[in-house]
Amino acid sequence: MLQVPFIRENKELVIERLAKRNIDATQMINDVISFDEDRRRIQTELDNTLAESNSLSKEIGNLFKSGEAQKANLLKERTVQLKETSKELAEALNNKSNELNELLYKIPNVPNKLVPSGNSDLDNEEIFKEGEIPVLHENALPHWELAKKYDIIDFELGNKITGAGFPVYKGKGARLQRALIAYFLDKNTAAGYTEYQLPLLVNEASGFGTGQLPDKEGQMYHVTEDNLYLIPTAEVPGTNIFRDVVLNESELPIGITGYTPCFRREAGSYGAHVRGLNRLHQFDKVEILRVEHPSKSYEALDGMVNHVKTILKELELPYRILRLCGGDLGFTSALTYDFELFSTAQDRWLEISSVSNFETFQANRLKLRFKNSDGKNELAHTLNGSSLALPRVLAGILENYQTKDGIVIPKALQAYTGFNIID
């Protein structure tokens, strides 16, 4: 969530930048400012009431001690009144604060100045492209056909066991999955990220911390019995490591990486584009996550983009990088780069990584701060990205590396798979 003082001091800029997301935030921003004024006014009133009550209580104590019970009892009457007043004010304050917070939860992050205006993914800006698009043999197949042909992924079986979107990987397919996970983790740790194994279920507070709650609970599987949520991404448990944390400036930057399965309900997304591995309810992902000093976060974002690039280059896959436009930018992000892999057999680009700088948007909700050189607590910047999401990378490998003799394993992966062809 945005910080109220920031909104107050940069009202015009905030409205102007939010317009990149095609929203007119004027009303909301004005409301935030006026709710906050109300809140502070009530707070002051309450504080004064409590201050009087506190000093009277002290006086009463002293009077009792010096044996002036009658005087004390007189004062008691006044405190009863004050108690009544403060109760009312406390309730009003609570209501106003809730009203303000609910509004703040609805306002997305302020886009960075680099974010292009636009309505949809069509307006995203391509900023980089690399890798050769292979020329496939005549009877090239999409990955779901390949999966069947070589018996490495069984969608029907997943259907039987659980339902659509829960594929079963077998034999070399399963081994390839494990190889990719190990390979990604090795690349990330070599780049300085510390490996974590994180819980796959999180509590409500964590859901709030990263912004899945209160608005997007429909996207997560909810275990109502214990009020826990299955994670939609390692970002949730990973970022919540830092909830209510005050770091020393010298501890920055922090980089962590972790492999987790991800669970997404994906309510309402059906159709041709969700075939095979393109969109799943359960999928594997290796995530990278950074906590940065505000002055260094954009440098770090570039660093993350470069890191993901080196992996795709090593896998020799054709990809491009997009700078997301305002209309396509995630709620919590200030600037996002998407990586898309070209699926030759499907003749379309598949999103395989999304690298974002959230600036203080997450940190504000998380209360993730560091002690700056003035000794003051200051919100840190958080960033994260996939490095990488498995299913579509797998789809890309299957499709782009298919030959008449089978699917060739990229060189960089062969040490991990222990075989160099799926046939």
Interface positions with RNA (CB under 7 A): 36, 40, 43-44, 46-48, 50-51, 53-58, 60-61, 64, 76, 79-80, 83, 246, 369, 371, 377
Between 86 and 346, CB nearer to RNA:
86
Query: What is the identity of the amino acid at 380?
Result: A
Question: Cβ of residue 164: shortest distance to RNA, in angstroms?
Answer: 30
Between 61 and 261, CB nearer to RNA:
61
For residue 266 the two structure tokens come to: 């994906």
Q: Are the CB atoms for 320 and 129 separated by under 8 Å?
A: yes
- What is the distance between the alpha carbons of residues 407 and 414, in angstroms, rounded to a whole number? 12
Between 203 and 414, CB nearer to RNA:
203
Between 219 and 372, CB nearer to RNA:
372
Question: Cβ of residue 209: shortest distance to RNA, in angstroms?
Answer: 16
Angle between helices 11-18 and 26-65 (to 10 degrees): 140
Q: Are the CB atoms for 258 and 198 separated by under 8 Å?
A: yes
Question: Cβ of residue 61: shortest distance to RNA, in angstroms?
Answer: 3
Question: Cβ of residue 76: shortest distance to RNA, in angstroms?
Answer: 4
Between 47 and 132, CB nearer to RNA:
47
Question: Cβ of residue 148: shortest distance to RNA, in angstroms?
Answer: 33
Question: Cβ of residue 206: shortest distance to RNA, in angstroms?
Answer: 13
- What is the distance between the alpha carbons of residues 355 and 141, in angstroms, rounded to a whole number? 30
Residue 351's H or E segment, with its range, is strand 348-359
> Where does residue 375 rank: exposed (0-12), middle (13-18), buried (19+ CB within 10 A)?
exposed
Question: Cβ of residue 404: shortest distance to RNA, in angstroms?
Answer: 45
Q: What share of the chain is helix, strand, coil (3-state, %, to 5)?
A: 45, 20, 30
Between 148 and 367, CB nearer to RNA:
367
Residue reference for tokens 């290796």: 286
- What is the distance between the alpha carbons of residues 169 and 152, in angstroms, rounded to a whole number? 6
DSSP state of 353: E
For residue 107 the two structure tokens come to: 């306002």
Between 377 and 420, CB nearer to RNA:
377
- What is the distance between the alpha carbons of residues 242 and 402, in angstroms, rounded to a whole number? 43
Residues 6 or more apart whose Cβ sits within 8 Å of residue 3: 360, 364, 379
